[in-house]
Amino acid sequence: MTVEQVESWSEGIAGLHARFARRFGRSEPRDRALDYMTGLLAPLEKKNGWTLAEQVGQLRPDGVQRLLNHSEWDEDAVRDDVRDFVMETIGTKDGVLVGDDTGFLKKGVKSAGVQRQYSGTAGRTENCQIGTFLAYASPKGRALIDRELYVPKSWTDDRDRCRAAGIDDTVPFATKIEHLKWMLQRAIDAAVPFAWVTADEAYGQVKHFRAWLEERRVAYVLATKVNDTVTTTDSRDARVDELIAALPKQAWKRLSAGAGAHGQRIYHWARVAIRPFWKDGYGHWVLARRSLADPTEISYYVCHGPVASLLKDLVKVAGARWQVEECFQTAKGECGLDHYQVRLYRAWYRHITLAMAVLAYLTAVRAAEAAKGAAEMTSTT
């Protein structure tokens, strides 16, 4: 991102900031939030308190720290305003909600929720915090619309430690599955337009989560492990890999799961109806993705959706899951999502929310530019 782009976009981001200006109790934190968002857009190697303060002409990071730690403002209301902005700019009825978590490497033991735990970001066990996120993906773009900080039992079992990090006694231990349920329920209650939910196998293999979605008539394509079992028509439990292995050769179709960094993501795909009777117009399938280069490399999905859903529809949703990874990459690389230096629980939410707002703004700009380019191309043909 060039300096010229930042200067231009910082003017535009004031419009997004104005949407949630009422969420701040006083003018000082309100103005500081706009400075903070502008700083997150800047081409800085590190976007922490010191560098963001310097970017807006402050000698010390005191104002930035006060904004995140002590100022009076409602970060959850800002989150909702950001979500509404995303819906206005890229929302479509065929949108996909994508759940996933990401790690934030940390030093020390005082940052809220930090401990040695597995981080998919690092690919190993590290001292880190884990955030659970909900992304929204549509043909117009993708952005993060909700977030929760994972607070392990090692913390919730030690309330003195929690209080020192600003974690209220009312904050319970909650799994990442419960986080995703909370975020999906908020999206449903807010009438977010979407057609499907997708997530990786850490979420997809949890049967009570699948049942929770079905109770709400939410269609899903969820990755799962090779030895997961599903209930078939004759009320027996069958392994997903065995159901797929029984399919004839012609059941496999060569399809793209969408464009990636290196072109179309093309695989062989197949599905099998696991309960070929329909309830309220919805049915269930097992979906499989097979590598073109190595036919023994197969990934599995459990699916629930409208009876009219085609194989290509399920493939499209499965492919949409990668868009949350692209959200993380952009948010960390361009919006400072992982550059924070805060310890308090509420400060984490505040930084993450403002970084999500910046990502939403960039998403809107890119969607507008894409629409303009498409219109210009149409007018010349």
What digits encode the pLDDT tens for the residues 30-64?
999 999 999 998 888 888 877 887 877 776 778 88
Shared domain for 332 and 238, answered yes or no, is no
Classify residue 294 as exposed, middle or buried by CB count within 10 Å of its CB (0-12, 13-18, 19+). Answer: exposed
Shared domain for 230 and 153, answered yes or no, is no
Average pLDDT, rounded, for the chain: 91
Q: Mind listing the pLDDT tens digit for each residue in 248-299? A: 999 999 999 988 777 889 999 999 999 766 667 899 999 999 999 999 999 9
Q: Is 380 within the bounds of a domain? A: no
Shared domain for 9 and 145, answered yes or no, is yes
Give the model's pLDDT for residue 381.
58
Q: Is 339 within the bounds of a domain? A: yes
Helices (H), the chain: 3-19, 27-41, 49-55, 62-69, 75-90, 153-156, 159-164, 176-189, 201-204, 207-215, 240-245, 311-320, 322-334, 345-380
Q: Which element (helix H / strand E) includes 287? A: strand 282-290
Shared domain for 98 and 40, answered yes or no, is yes
How far apart, in whole angstroms, are the C-alpha atoms of residue 132 and residue 145? Answer: 11
**DSSP structure string for 164-193:** HTT--TT-----HHHHHHHHHHHHHHTT--
Give the model's pLDDT for residue 379.
63
Q: Is 202 within the bounds of a domain? A: no
Shared domain for 247 and 157, answered yes or no, is no
For the chain, how many structural domains are there in total? Answer: 2
Shared domain for 188 and 110, answered yes or no, is yes
Q: Is 381 within the bounds of a domain? A: no
Give the model's pLDDT for residue 119.
87
Shared domain for 18 and 143, answered yes or no, is yes
Strands 124-138 and 253-260: unpaired
Q: Is 200 within the bounds of a domain? A: no
Shared domain for 364 and 315, answered yes or no, is no
Q: Is 174 within the bounds of a domain? A: yes
C-alpha closest to that of 173 among 160, 162, 189, 188: 162
Q: Is 27 within the bounds of a domain? A: yes
List the structure tokens of 181.
Answer: 């349920």
How far apart, in whole angstroms, are the C-alpha atoms of residue 358 and residue 342? Answer: 19
**Tokens 């909370």 belong to which residue?**
182
List the structure tokens of 321.
Answer: 């899951």
Q: Mind listing the pLDDT tens digit for each residue in 325-336? A: 999 999 999 999
How far apart, in whole angstroms, are the C-alpha atoms of residue 209 and residue 295? Answer: 30
Per the structure, the complete domain to which residue 230 belongs is given by 207-320
Query: Which residue numbers in the chain have pLDDT < 50?
Result: 1-9
Shared domain for 28 and 169, answered yes or no, is yes
Give the model's pLDDT for residue 169.
96
Classify residue 20 as exposed, middle or buried by CB count within 10 Å of its CB (0-12, 13-18, 19+). Answer: buried
Give the model's pLDDT for residue 57.
74
How far apart, in whole angstroms, are the C-alpha atoms of residue 165 and residue 170? Answer: 14
Whether the CB-CB separation of 130 and 174 falls below 8 Å is answered with no
Shared domain for 51 and 96, answered yes or no, is yes
Whether the CB-CB separation of 139 and 161 falls below 8 Å is answered with no
| Prediction pTM value | 0.93
Shared domain for 212 and 295, answered yes or no, is yes
Shared domain for 46 and 117, answered yes or no, is yes
How far apart, in whole angstroms, are the C-alpha atoms of residue 135 and residue 327? Answer: 8
Q: Write the CB contacts of 57 (distance below 8 Å, at least 6 apart in sequence).
A: none
**Buried residues in 339-367 as b, exposed as e (16+ CB within 10 A):** bbbbbbbbbbbbbbbbbbbbbbbbbbbbb
Q: Is 176 within the bounds of a domain? A: yes
